C-alpha cells in the first residue's frame, strides 16, 4: 500500500523534520513585518516551527529564528509572536500536539 507523502519541513526550534501541516509557519515580509502565516501562502522568508511553545522559545534562544527569517528577532518581536501563539486558537492545537508527543 502506498502512503501519501506530504512535504516535510524542519522545525527551527528542535531541528526535527515534521509533516508541514503539523508546523506553524512564521513569515517575514517587508510589507507586513513578522507574522504567523496560517494559510502557508504568504510571501516572504519563512520559518517553520512545531506547534509547541517550547520549540518557539528555544528557536529564539538559539537565534535560529533570526537566521531563518533574516532579521534580528529582538525581545519585542519574539514577545509579539509568543503572545500571538499563546493568545490565538493555536493554543488548543499546541495542547493537542503536546499530548500526541507524549504518547
Ligand atoms: Zn520543534
Measured N-to-C along each axis, helices 53-61 and 75-87 cross at an angle, to the nearest 10 degrees, of: 170
Residue 86 lies in a domain: yes
CA 83–ligand 1 middle distance (angstroms): 18
Domains identified in the chain, total number: 1
Whether residue 89 is predicted with pLDDT greater than 70 in this model: the reply is no
CA 53–ligand 1 middle distance (angstroms): 9
| CB contact set of 22 (below 8 Å; sequence gap of 6+) | 50, 51, 97
Residue 39 lies in a domain: yes
Whether residue 103 is predicted with pLDDT greater than 60 in this model: the reply is no
Between β-strands 45-50 and 23-29, what pairing exists: parallel, antiparallel or unpaired?
Answer: antiparallel
CA 20–ligand 1 middle distance (angstroms): 12
CA 32–ligand 1 middle distance (angstroms): 25
Residue 103 lies in a domain: no
Whether residue 55 is predicted with pLDDT greater than 50 in this model: the reply is yes
Mean pLDDT of the chain: 81
Give the CATH number for residue 32. 3.30.1230.10
Q: State which residues form the domain around 36.
A: 8-97
CA 94–ligand 1 middle distance (angstroms): 11
What is the average pLDDT across 58-87? Answer: 86
CA 82–ligand 1 middle distance (angstroms): 15
> Taking the complete model, does pTM exceed 0.85, yes or no?
no
Amino acid at each position: 500500500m502506498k502512503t501519501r507523502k506530504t512535504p516535510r519541513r524542519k522545525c527551527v526550534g528542535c531541528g526535527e523534520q515534521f509533516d508541514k501541516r503539523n508546523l506553524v509557519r512564521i513569515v517575514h515580509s517587508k510589507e507586513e513585518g513578522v507574522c504567523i502565516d496560517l494559510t502557508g501562502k504568504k510571501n516572504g522568508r519563512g520559518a517553520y516551527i512545531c506547534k509547541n511553545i517550547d520549540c518557539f522559545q528555544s528557536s529564539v534562544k538559539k537565534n535560529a529564528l533570526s537566521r531563518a527569517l533574516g532579521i534580528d528577532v529582538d525581545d519585542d518581536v519574539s514577545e509579539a509572536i509568543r503572545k500571538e501563539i499563546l493568545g490565538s486558537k493555536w493554543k488548543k492545537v499546541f495542547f493537542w500536539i503536546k499530548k500526541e508527543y507524549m504518547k
